[in-house]
């Protein structure tokens, strides 16, 4: 039975038929298009999305990152997939299925650019569980917060170590995050807020030596945590969780726009 116009597969077939009619693709390219778009449809369904009009750039980026982590794409393969998505959503826009092309913001990869593959979901979950199981010591509370800031909020290592206590607004439940375009305020999800509150209550006060120190994250000597120190903390956690040594803060960062499946206690 043919899929209905409401089904994701319906428009995949329409797009592929249009490509054939225009003699725009070879048989091998047609198969590659179908595989990419069918994989995207399954990815969307796994997240409860059943309409192409609901697709957004963060979702498409997450789809590409997930596939890259599992298959080890090269930059050229990434760019091929981006081109497929842009063509497909341009077709949907032309057909009036969607108001605008959500694939346009997707980035191209330079052949020389180093690609940070995100952690597979199972490895990410193991790291969250290890962070959640850390003892309620000052450094344990700090490392739990580090995982929350990077994995949940998507902060870069440099942004995390640059945070100061003045950047925390517990009253409004937000955090001021440094960036190239200037600092911006970010609302804190409840799990991250709890982790931050616990660190400020029982972690940082026990670590600090000099009251003039304004850095949020401190090392065991009470000094501002460096990027190297943050990397070391994550690698130690990864080792305890039985993860590969290739883990880094960049790989831990969550694709923007997607929530993490946390339980009530985690982070």
Higher pLDDT, 216 or 114: 216
Residues 245-251, mean pLDDT to the nearest whole number: 66
Cβ neighbours of residue 232 closer than 8 Å, sequence gap 6 or more: none
Higher pLDDT, 156 or 114: 156
Most confident by average pLDDT, 116-120, 193-197, 261-265: 193-197
Cα dist from 61 to 70, 82, 114, 118, whole Å: 14, 9, 17, 11
pLDDT digits (tens, 9 = 90+) for 4-32: 445 789 999 999 999 888 776 778 888 88
Query: Both tokens of residue 192?
Result: 């991250």
Residue 135 scores a pLDDT above 50: yes
- What residues form DSSP beta bridges with 218? 224
Whether the CA torsion 228, 133, 187, 260 is positive or negative: it is positive
Q: Strand 184-187: give its sheet, edge to edge.
A: 168-169, 174-177, 184-187
Distance separating alpha carbons of residues 180 and 115, to the nearest angstrom: 21
Residues 122-144, mean pLDDT to the nearest whole number: 86
Higher pLDDT, 256 or 69: 69
Residue 69 scores a pLDDT above 80: no
- Which ranges of 98-256 would DSSP assign to H, the alpha helix? 121-132, 138-147, 157-162, 190-198, 204-207, 227-240, 249-252
Percentage, residues of the chain above pLDDT 90: 46
Q: What is the pLDDT of residue 181?
A: 72
* Mean of all residue pLDDT scores within the chain: 83
Distance separating alpha carbons of residues 252 and 266, to the nearest angstrom: 16
Higher pLDDT, 74 or 196: 196
pLDDT band at residue 42, thresholds of 50, 70 and 90? very high
**φ, ψ (nearest 5 deg) of residue 134:** -60, 145
Residue 104 scores a pLDDT above 80: yes
Looking at the chain, the number of H-run helices and the number of E-run strands are: 11, 3
| Residue 114 DSSP label | P
3-class secondary structure, 199: helix
Residue 180 scores a pLDDT above 90: no
Residue 86 scores a pLDDT above 90: yes
pLDDT band at residue 3, thresholds of 50, 70 and 90? very low
Q: What is the pLDDT of residue 109?
A: 74
Q: What is the pLDDT of residue 227?
A: 87
Residues 198-208, mean pLDDT to the nearest whole number: 96
Provide the residue count of the chain: 267
Distance separating alpha carbons of residues 208 and 135, to the nearest angstrom: 19
Q: What is the pLDDT of residue 257?
A: 38
Q: What is the pLDDT of residue 5?
A: 47
Higher pLDDT, 245 or 21: 21
């Amino acid at each position: 039975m043919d899929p209905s116009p409401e089904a994701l597969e319906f428009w995949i077939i329409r797009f592929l038929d249009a490509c054939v009619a225009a003699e725009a693709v070879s048989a091998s390219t047609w198969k590659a298009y179908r595989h990419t778009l069918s994989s995207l449809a399954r990815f969307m369904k796994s997240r409860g999305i059943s309409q192409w009009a609901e697709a957004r750039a963060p979702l498409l980026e997450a789809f590409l990152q997930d596939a890259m982590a599992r298959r080890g794409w090269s930059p050229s393969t990434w760019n091929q997939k981006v081109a497929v998505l842009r063509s497909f959503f341009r077709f949907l826009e032309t057909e009036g299925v969607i108001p605008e092309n959500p694939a346009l913001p997707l980035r191209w990869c330079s052949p020389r650019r180093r690609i940070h593959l995100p952690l597979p979901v199972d490895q990410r979950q193991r790291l969250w569980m290890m962070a959640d199981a850390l003892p309620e010591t000052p450094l344990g509370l700090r490392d739990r917060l580090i995982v929350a800031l990077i994995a949940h909020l998507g902060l870069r290592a440099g942004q995390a170590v640059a945070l100061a206590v003045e950047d925390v607004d517990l009253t409004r439940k937000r955090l001021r995050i440094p960036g190239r375009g200037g600092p911006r305020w970010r609302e804190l999800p409840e799990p991250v807020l709890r982790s931050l509150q616990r660190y400020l209550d029982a972690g940082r006060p026990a670590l600090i030596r000099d009251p003039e120190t304004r850095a949020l994250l401190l090392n065991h000597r009470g000094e501002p945590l460096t990027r190297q120190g943050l990397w070391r903390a994550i690698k130690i956690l990864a080792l305890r969780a039985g993860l590969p040594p290739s883990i880094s803060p960049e790989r831990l960062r969550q694709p923007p726009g997607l929530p993490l499946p946390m339980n009530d206690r985690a982070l």
